[in-house]
Structure 1
């Protein structure tokens, strides 16, 4: 393998790896559960058995809970706060080392808006008992951005991953208490990742004598010739969602759904910036094309809701997300030849929640919930692109039924995150010539509002 191919493979691997691990605060990994503000207000308890148009993508079978044409629009603002305390050293322990310079990177999580829309249409006449629906939403995504010159700049600067799903679903009432449903998902994924490059270290380490990096007489020093690269790529792919609901009476509802994993082959470009004149003719730093595999994981959900009285309901959710499908990131050249692979090491995760709703009157409903969300990351492989760990979710919400046709929902959720640690060694094969060790202190606030119109 040529130097050019090795460098491009490593750079693209890091970028795509960053897209996968640079999680947003809405859930662990890069999963987003903000399809429904009503669900947000109860920490997603009973998320797939409610009278909510978001069932189009969450559990198509539960679309039969809606007996009128329904349009719903949800907007959630996710505000992540994360503070890093740590340091690193150039070249680790292989050679005499020097500390990394720079600050803590500031707050990488600016407020991010997550919109979702859905429409459900119960059919009449000869097709009565069938319901169809469509939704547009963002089930996975992230955006983190550090300040220029921060201590971890050689690992991450900007991470921006967007997925947009168009879901078309159909549901059937098998009996009065049993429904089944299925949907087709068209998913568009776009990723843009960047990091700094320590060209000073690249020059002195490539001189044939790595000790030059710490020789006062040598003109090129680590951290004195920083450049950058940015990788962007996109792809569209198809998946599916299936579900069932059992509601033997007006008090009890049980739902189960499964969303498939969706495999993307991202096609992207690599753009180098501020390459020193000394390296201007070096083919390793030429802009180029490449590709990598991205998998959005499978999600299996079990929900239950039970009405103890006409006005009070208790709900629960269990969800398993198949993050272990991200075994590695395989890098390919344009002709399809595999030129490198990066291990991933994520685990499947479990999410458990409990929530309740209380109808104050026909016009107002209050709700709340608490949940525990497990992180797919681990202390060995966690990166600053994802200041993520296990977390607790605390939620409150309310519904105002303005009329028989119109209702407004609002919710607030507070997420507390167990302090994640970073302990990254030198990995020259992946282009990392420095260590990074530290700890994050983070939390998130989510604010949501939605409108549902029935006609």
Structure 2
């Protein structure tokens, strides 16, 4: 009972709260619609608008006027599940687990963002940004074959970043902003029957607020070529919440483990730091080229440790205390190339290509995090009807390599793809 209940319910559910948020699933990394148009190539060096507050806070020093920017990205994902099989994880461990594998478990998701930047003089600029760095909803159909490893996940992180930048001279600028990060999530799983005919259910909810920071340097080699580097710090969370277990299984009820009910749960989570480096080169009055790479230290996520308190009296108290689930993630690199073509004063076209590694591995990957290495292609359009207004539109399509899940009792191959649509409005005072 300890192995079945513990690993399928608490550890996997709580573990998904962190890994789903870290991986960002299909939520990608849309914090800028203008950047989305070039697949985020040049994110730390372009400094084209107020969204540079996220991409590289040093870039605020390049903005000559007070500016506000609001945008929204919508993500529509598609998943095909193939070659699935599941063994019985209930009492006796024999036979197979039946169920469906419809896929397409990610509903269309909206990702909002907003930025404000105000130059104080030729050297100083201040600003504030609100954005969603991580977030995803996965909602499998009822009776999903892999339901014991997670069939509903809802996780989001909302960040507020007040920021300041300083321009030393015509070449060198720096920027810094503390980040206030709010994470919350809800995760649900089925628990296999041990001495009953139907599944039990476990739902875990938790949240926390934690601090980090975003710091960047921008160096302009010439008026047409600049390079940037941005460091985003790790963030330490302690998620506090509760776990609720419901059902009618005798083995989990008062006659067995006495596990049904509601009790406290906590999870210490350390999200990794990242370093983004990019170059922007204005080839001529029409063409601008971008290139970038980002290293993320996912290897910090070696395991998930869950602390349970307030357990119901009885056998459950002796079995459930500290739970550890191995993750064994690895550091990843992402690369992007992009270009912008200025048709005239009013219209600019953008495109980009990106490659992202997945930090997960076949041994520990679960249905909550069925992601692999991905490729993305993007197209963007900027319209400047006046010197004060810019409208940005963007479209991205990403696809992943076939991703395998190899859990003890559930195996499947996932084919994932997603469409991203973005729109933003920037106004300069």
TM-score, scaled to structure 2: 0.92
What stretches of structure 1 move > 6 A for 4+ residues in a row? 3-6
Name the CA shift for 1:96/1:73 in 2 (closer, same or farther; >3 Å): closer
Q: Could you tell me how far apart the structure 2 residues matched to 1:30 and 1:192 are? A: 17
Confirm or deny: 8 A CA contact 2:177 2:214 kept in the other structure: yes
1:11 Cα deviation from its structure 2 partner? 3.3
1:115 aligned to which of 112, 115, 122: 112
1:314 aligned to which of 282, 289, 292: 289
1:240-284: CA deviations, max 9, x gaps? 111100013221010001000101000010111233467442422
1:357 Cα deviation from its structure 2 partner? 0.4
Confirm or deny: 8 A CA contact 2:227 2:278 kept in the other structure: yes
- Aligned partner of residue 367 in structure 2, secondary structure: coil
Confirm or deny: 8 A CA contact 1:261 1:296 kept in the other structure: yes
- Aligned partner of residue 97 in structure 1, secondary structure: coil
1:110-169: CA deviations, max 9, x gaps? 110000101001003xxx411111001111122111001011111111111110000011
**Counterparts in 2 of 1:39-438, with a 5 A limit?**
39-49=35-45, 50-85=47-82, 86-91=84-89, 97-124=94-121, 128-199=122-193, 202-203=194-195, 220=196, 224-276=197-249, 279-281=252-254, 282-334=257-309, 339-425=322-408, 435-438=409-412
Confirm or deny: 8 A CA contact 1:28 1:374 kept in the other structure: no
Are positions 1:450 and 2:427 aligned together?
no
Structure 2 residue ranges without an equivalent (≥5): 311-319
Confirm or deny: 8 A CA contact 1:45 1:316 kept in the other structure: yes
Confirm or deny: 8 A CA contact 1:8 1:284 kept in the other structure: no
| Corresponding position of 2:314 | none
1:186 Cα deviation from its structure 2 partner? 0.4
Name the CA shift for 1:307/1:74 in 2 (closer, same or farther; >3 Å): same
1:295 Cα deviation from its structure 2 partner? 2.4
Q: Could you tell me how far apart the structure 2 residues matched to 1:285 and 1:139 are? A: 35
For these two proteins, the number of residue pairs brought into alignment is 416
Q: Could you tell me how far apart the structure 2 residues matched to 1:269 and 1:28 are? A: 23
Confirm or deny: 8 A CA contact 1:28 1:373 kept in the other structure: no
- Aligned partner of residue 17 in structure 1, secondary structure: helix
Q: Could you tell me how far apart the structure 1 residues matched to 2:259 and 2:4 are? A: 8
Are positions 1:11 and 2:9 aligned together?
yes
Q: Could you tell me how far apart the structure 2 residues matched to 1:367 and 1:132 are? A: 28
Name the CA shift for 1:9/1:444 in 2 (closer, same or farther; >3 Å): closer
1:345 Cα deviation from its structure 2 partner? 0.8
Name the CA shift for 1:294/1:10 in 2 (closer, same or farther; >3 Å): farther
Q: Could you tell me how far apart the structure 1 residues matched to 2:415 and 2:324 are? A: 32
1:289 Cα deviation from its structure 2 partner? 0.5
Confirm or deny: 8 A CA contact 1:79 1:444 kept in the other structure: yes
- Structure possessing the higher radius of gyration over alpha carbons: 1
Q: Could you tell me how far apart the structure 2 residues matched to 1:437 and 1:11 are? A: 18
Task: State the Cα RMSD in Å.
Answer: 2.3
- Aligned partner of residue 42 in structure 1, secondary structure: coil
1:361-393: CA deviations, max 9, x gaps? 000000101011100011111111112000111
Q: Could you tell me how far apart the structure 2 residues matched to 1:278 and 1:103 are? A: 26
- Aligned partner of residue 381 in structure 1, secondary structure: coil
| Corresponding position of 2:32 | 36
- Aligned partner of residue 63 in structure 1, secondary structure: helix
Q: Could you tell me how far apart the structure 2 residues matched to 1:16 and 1:104 are? A: 23
Name the CA shift for 1:278/1:9 in 2 (closer, same or farther; >3 Å): closer
Name the CA shift for 1:153/1:374 in 2 (closer, same or farther; >3 Å): same
Q: Could you tell me how far apart the structure 2 residues matched to 1:345 and 1:30 are? A: 21
Q: Could you tell me how far apart the structure 2 residues matched to 1:400 and 1:4 are? A: 60
Q: Could you tell me how far apart the structure 2 residues matched to 1:77 and 1:236 are? A: 25
1:97 Cα deviation from its structure 2 partner? 2.1
Q: Could you tell me how far apart the structure 1 residues matched to 2:161 and 2:403 are? A: 35
Structure 1 residue ranges without an equivalent (≥5): 204-219, 426-434
1:339 Cα deviation from its structure 2 partner? 1.6
Confirm or deny: 8 A CA contact 1:4 1:283 kept in the other structure: no
